[in-house]
Amino acid sequence: MSTAPNPYFAQPARPRMFSRPWHRYAWAPVPLLSMSLLACLPFIVAAYRGVISWWIAGAYTAGSATVLGFAIVQPKVNGWFAVAVWALMITAVVHVFLLDREGPGGKTYK
């Protein structure tokens, strides 16, 4: 049996979110700079590129829309709303950093 690689059994290349290492640092502050209005943008791009599922992008979009709606309507909310907004922002930034992380040997986690 031949040990040469067979292109028929090769797995397709995994889609990438970042084409350059510095792109991770350019995308990560987007949720914080926009204060949740654009928190969903990196995830919509990642879903479009096939890096994550669309339901994840939908969850961040729903969170961003909720925060934007509360900012427009400005209902009387308690202090937990501010905690929830900051939790969304920090989670979004950390999730962007983890999108294309590389493990030992340069292997990209799926």
Q: Quick one: pLDDT at residue 58?
A: 93
Q: Quick one: pLDDT at residue 12?
A: 63
Consecutive 10-residue runs of the chain (110 residues): their mean pLDDT? 59 71 80 75 88 90 86 81 85 84 54
Q: Quick one: pLDDT at residue 109?
A: 46
* Contact present, 55 and 6 (Cβ < 8 Å): no
Q: Quick one: pLDDT at residue 105?
A: 54
pTM comes to 0.69
Displacement of CA 100 from its chain's centroid (Å): 10
